[in-house]
Amino acid sequence: MKIISSKDYNDMSKKIANIISAKVILKPDSVLGLATGSTPIGTYKKLIEWYNKGDIDFSSVCSVNLDEYCGLDKSHNQSYAYFMYNNFFKHININMENTYVPNGTNTDAPSECQLYEEIIDNLGGIDLQLLGIGHNGHIGFNEPSDCFIKDTHQVELSQKTVDANSKYFDNPKDMPKYAYTMGMGSIMKSKKIIVMVSGADKSDILKAMVTGPITPKLQGSILQLHPDVTIVADEAALSKF
């Protein structure tokens, strides 16, 4: 695993946006694996800024997102489809038909999960996957568990994740208890992976993910086995190294 240290959140966001834009310039029809949460917002802002300056063209890019809450329609303001549209897609020239997020309203979980795997395969796989890491080491919604699940699947969210994310809902009780997520196998098939980590509150989990044992109790630890992972983290997140 390669680690790039950045001064702070803004510096981290700029470095990650640089890596993504280099990828898109080199391969205009890149398949980008995208993430939600608070960490990638600064990266998306930078990419939007450079798009507005005419420096990046997303017209041939495809995107697949890591996960989505079950039960939320894409018009729900906490759905990840809504997040992606409002924080990124509506500001750039990506073709919305080339953007994929699991369909949280499909109640047929096996068929939704199989469809999502087929979408990734039909796109030829993910060229660059952007990942955040949760405080419990989750990647997407691959929560601490006794095993690694390979493909896209439905997951029951851990109490820690429910506690962390329910504050974003007008009524915290509306926070879904289930989600669809790419599996660690789907993620590990990506050609290149960028992990973005910011803040002292992620320093222990980052250290454990990079230097600790590979265990499904810390799902991100399996990334140690991927041949092309770059962690871009700020000094606070790297403070335990």
Residue 13 within binding range of ligand PGA, rule CB under 6 A = no
156 is known as an active-site residue: no
- φ, ψ dihedrals at 3, nearest 5°: -120, 125
Select from 179, 188, 189 the least CA-distant residue to 112.
Answer: 179
Q: How far is the CB of 7 from ligand PGA (least distance, A)?
A: 19
Q: What is the identity of the amino acid at 7?
A: K
Q: Restricting to residues 49-88, name those near ligand PGA by CB under 6 A.
A: none
31 near 63, Cβ under 8 Å?
yes
Residue 132 within binding range of ligand PGA, rule CB under 6 A = yes
Q: How far is the CB of 166 from ligand PGA (least distance, A)?
A: 13
Pick the closer one to ligand PGA by CB: 12 or 94. Answer: 12
Among 6, 30, 39, 186, binds ligand PGA (CB under 6 A): 39
42 near 9, Cβ under 8 Å?
yes
Among 42, 102, 104, 134, binds ligand PGA (CB under 6 A): 134
135 is known as an active-site residue: no
Active-site entry in 127, 138, 165, 234: 138
Give the separation between CA 80 and CA 63, rounded to whole angstroms. 13
Among 38, 77, 93, 111, binds ligand PGA (CB under 6 A): 38
Pick the closer one to ligand PGA by CB: 27 or 177. Answer: 177
Among 4, 10, 37, 166, binds ligand PGA (CB under 6 A): 37
Query: Segment contacting ligand PGA (CB under 6 A): 119-127, 132-140, 187-195, 215-223?
Result: 132-140
Q: Restricting to residues 140-199, name those near ligand PGA by CB under 6 A.
A: none
What 3-state DSSP class applies to 223? helix
Pick the closer one to ligand PGA by CB: 57 or 135. Answer: 135
Strands 178-181 and 153-156: antiparallel
- Element (H or E) spanning 129, and its range? strand 128-131
Select from 81, 71, 69, 22 the least CA-distant residue to 47.
Answer: 22
Select from 118, 33, 120, 128 the least CA-distant residue to 84.
Answer: 33
138 is known as an active-site residue: yes
153 is known as an active-site residue: no
197 near 233, Cβ under 8 Å?
yes
Location of structure tokens 């590979």: 214
Query: Segment contacting ligand PGA (CB under 6 A): 7-15, 35-43, 96-104, 230-238?
Result: 35-43
60 near 28, Cβ under 8 Å?
yes
Binding site for ligand PGA (CB under 6 A): 37-39, 132-134, 138
- Catalytic residue positions, numbered: 67, 136, 138, 143
